[in-house]
């Protein structure tokens, strides 16, 4: 039986998948960060459960406009 992909191929595929996973995790974190919430907290949540983090990031209230900047 032939092996369709070598170990190096599987490792490369895993690394590419990991890079894509981390890159996509920035999406909810950026949305929440712009609304005045914790960027890092949403990034970690997004790494664990992306759909939940994305929904929460768009549903939470915007706290960035509450403070007077001067």
At residue 4 the predicted structure's pLDDT band, cuts being 50, 70 and 90, is: confident
Cα–Cα distance measured from residue 21 to residue 27, given in angstroms and rounded to the nearest whole number: 11
At residue 6 the predicted structure's pLDDT band, cuts being 50, 70 and 90, is: confident
State the number of CA atoms in the 13 A half-sphere of 41 facing the CB: 7
Residue 27, pLDDT > 90, answer yes
* pLDDT, position 55: 96
* pLDDT, position 41: 96
Whether this model's pTM surpasses 0.75:
yes
């Amino acid at each position: 039986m032939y092996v369709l992909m070598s170990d190096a191929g599987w490792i490369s595929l895993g690394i590419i998948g990991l890079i894509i996973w981390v890159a996509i995790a920035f999406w909810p974190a950026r949305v929440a960060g712009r609304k005045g919430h914790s960027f890092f907290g949403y990034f970690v949540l997004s790494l664990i459960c992306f759909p939940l983090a994305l929904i929460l990031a768009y549903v939470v209230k915007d706290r960035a406009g509450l403070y007077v900047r001067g």
